[in-house]
Chains A and B, each alone.
Chain A
Amino acid sequence: MIGDAFTPVLEAARSGEPWAFEVIYRDLAPAVLGYLRGQRAAEPEDLASDVFVGVVRGLPSFRGDEGGFRSWVFSIAHRRLVDERRRLARRREDAVDPSLMSGPLAASSVGDAEAEALDRIKQGWALRVLGLLTEDQRSVLLLRILADLSVEEVAGILGKRPGAVKTLQRRALASLARHLDREGVS
């Protein structure tokens, strides 16, 4: 979080100050990239670049505090993600893949080619865990734990009611707990 300096940083960014862009980027880029990676974006780095370009373009019209700004940035990220998925015509199933649920979490016994490739990097296991969740559960969980958004803010981004978001996040936690219990992780 930028904190008290947010307002002057935002004003400087509206004036086109490069240092202000960097402050905003350093604060939000890890979460935006994490969100896009967690959502299995095809090109998360390129998509993140599109998101921040969209942020710059929308700065003159943005009104609100830092919380609102953070929520607004992730709404842009989510829209870019949906657009990318439409373009790519959805090459994989976003729902629970039964093959991901077999074997211990740390092992790489999954037949999914994409997951096997990602096992070699740090986020590989995280993607497999997130593969246990439905698309809506994953979106809610990522926006809650990476973007630090409230239930209401997540509901606004996803176009759902707050009650539905609360249900989705509880179901997501239940799915994770069930999987851990099945795998014998304590």
Chain B
Amino acid sequence: MRRPSDYRDEMDRLDPRLVDAALAGRETGEPALDRAAQLVADLRRALLEEPGTQAPRHLAAMAAAAEHEVWGSSTVLSEHRAARPGRRRLAGVALAAVLLLGAGMAWGAVSLPDQASDRAEEAVAAAQERGNGAPEAGQTEGVETEDGTHGEQVGEVAHDDSLEGCEKGQAVSEVAGSNADEGGPKHDPCAKGDEGGQAGGAGQEASAKGKAKAEEAKAKDHGPPEDAGAPGKVKEKEKP
């Protein structure tokens, strides 16, 4: 009976070319090695086998990998990565251009942004529905002339030196408001004793009461009360 080390020693002494021949399944002339070579050849035949039914599945997996991994996202990704510095530069230039353009538009008031322009068009359409629409293109000159005439009239009154103070302001206001809606209550801002007008509210009423108290004090040769003309304070005192 040979010991295991005997086989090892025998193989270690073999020419490497014989070992290669044995691994290739060829005869070597060495009995022990030839038997091993025969076994190696049998192993090769036993293990080498066509994939058979698995082949379509494997090929489909390869095709899918090629489509989705290599020639799909991966290649695109690598190209994307390669182009990234250039795109960054382009993005920077574009951003600078947008900022400069925006600043220029704001300076020159060239045009409205889209959103504002849309809103303006909506407002014009709504006004036209109400009958107060913006003038058509052909009407533009007339409207401008009318506005200019009105402005001139307002300017004439404003520069009229014959009027002063409240009267002048009232006259300018009347001329300027001549195109405005005629409805609603009017009041005379220059009328004495009605400084706050009807819209003055409780403060104006209190102011009138304060003035009445002042007149009473004058009649009694006393100075006017400290709170005269201070509607807020008067109102506070009137609180229960």
Interface residues on B, range: 35 or more
Q: What string of 1s and 0s marks CB contacts (under 8 Å) between B65-92 and chain A?
A: 1110111001100000000000000000
Q: Given A22-B59, A130-B43, A145-B40 in contact, is the A30-B51 Cβ separation under 8 Å?
A: yes
- A45 part of interface (Cβ distance < 8 Å): yes
Docked CA distance A122–B8 (Å): 30
Contact at A30–B50, with CB atoms within 8 Å? Answer: yes
List of A residues within 8 angstroms of B43 by Cβ: 38, 126, 129-130, 141, 145
Docked CA distance A60–B72 (Å): 12
CB nearest neighbor in A for B41:
A145
Provide the main secondary structure of the chain A interface: helix
List of B residues within 8 angstroms of A126 by Cβ: 42-43, 46-47
Docked CA distance A146–B19 (Å): 15
List of A residues within 8 angstroms of B49 by Cβ: 30, 33-34, 122-123
List of A residues within 8 angstroms of B95 by Cβ: none
Provide the main secondary structure of the chain B interface: helix
- B10 part of interface (Cβ distance < 8 Å): yes
Q: Given A130-B43, A141-B40, A174-B7 in contact, is the A185-B35 Cβ separation under 8 Å?
A: yes
Docked CA distance A22–B58 (Å): 10
List of A residues within 8 angstroms of B63 by Cβ: 18, 21
List of A residues within 8 angstroms of B74 by Cβ: 57
List of B residues within 8 angstroms of A157 by Cβ: none
List of A residues within 8 angstroms of B94 by Cβ: none
A45 nearest CB across to chain B (Å): 5
List of B residues within 8 angstroms of A57 by Cβ: 65, 69-70, 74
- A166 part of interface (Cβ distance < 8 Å): yes
> Which residue of A25, A31, A56 contacts B55 across the interface (Cβ within 8 Å)?
A25
- A16 part of interface (Cβ distance < 8 Å): yes
The count of residues in chain A whose C-beta lies closer than 8 Å to any C-beta of chain B is 49
A48 nearest CB across to chain B (Å): 6
- List which B29-43 residues lie within 8 A (CB) of chain A: 32-33, 35-36, 39-40, 42-43
B62 nearest CB across to chain A (Å): 5
- A69 part of interface (Cβ distance < 8 Å): no
> Which residue of A52, A125, A144 contacts B23 across the interface (Cβ within 8 Å)?
A144
> Which residue of A16, A122, A170 contacts B71 across the interface (Cβ within 8 Å)?
A16
Chosen A-B contacts, 21 in total, with CB atoms closer than 8 Å, are A21-B62, A29-B51, A29-B58, A30-B49, A31-B48, A38-B43, A48-B58, A49-B58, A56-B65, A56-B66, A145-B24, A145-B40, A146-B48, A170-B14, A171-B11, A173-B22, A173-B40, A174-B4, A176-B36, A177-B10, A180-B39
